[in-house]
């Protein structure tokens, strides 16, 4: 069984995706409303600040793909860019954890 399919990880990921599904639509609506009131397009920094409460996780399929890539590449380090609250982190770290159990130190 992969770490992604363990009960603890599956439960956490299900919870995070459910939270994003409940909260993101309203948060995007608030962002759209606030952005439409600006006199010019928001800068990258302002957009990031305005969207700070939006999860925006990768999809479960992309998470599984990233897990497979991390595991098969025997990744020892993963640098996370632009993944909001880190919902990507869990699948990829599972890949690293699985790999470390197989690799003697």
**Cβ atoms 68, 95 nearer than 8 A:** yes
- Of 69, 71, 96, 92, the C-alpha closest to 80 is 92
User: What pLDDT, on the 0 to 100 scale, is given for residue 39?
Assistant: 92
Instruction: Give the model's pLDDT for residue 25.
Output: 86
Residue 93 has a pLDDT of: 53
Tell me the per-residue pLDDT of 34-81, one tens digit each, with 9 for 90 and over. 989 999 988 888 888 888 878 777 888 888 888 888 889 988 888 776
Better-predicted residue by pLDDT, 26 or 1: 26
pLDDT for the residue numbered 49: 85
Q: If you compute the radius of gyration of the chain from its CA atoms, what whole number of angstroms results? A: 17
Quote the pLDDT of residue 54.
82
68-93 burial, b at 16+ Cβ within 10 Å, e below that, comes to eebbeeeeeeeeeeeebeebbebbbb
Helices 60-72/7-36 angle, 10° precision:
120
Convert the pLDDT of each residue in 5-16 to its tens digit: 788 888 888 888
pLDDT of residue 89: 47
């Amino acid at each position: 069984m992969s770490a992604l399919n363990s009960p603890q990880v599956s439960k956490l990921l299900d919870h995070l995706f459910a939270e994003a599904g409940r909260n993101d639509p309203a948060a995007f609506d608030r962002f759209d409303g606030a952005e439409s009131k600006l006199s010019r397009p928001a800068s990258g920094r302002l957009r990031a600040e305005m969207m700070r409460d939006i999860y925006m996780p990768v999809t479960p399929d992309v998470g599984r793909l990233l897990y497979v890539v991390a595991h098969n590449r025997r990744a020892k380090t993963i640098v996370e860019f632009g993944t909001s609250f880190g919902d990507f982190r869990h699948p990829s770290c599972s890949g690293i954890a699985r790999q470390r159990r197989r690799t003697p130190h």
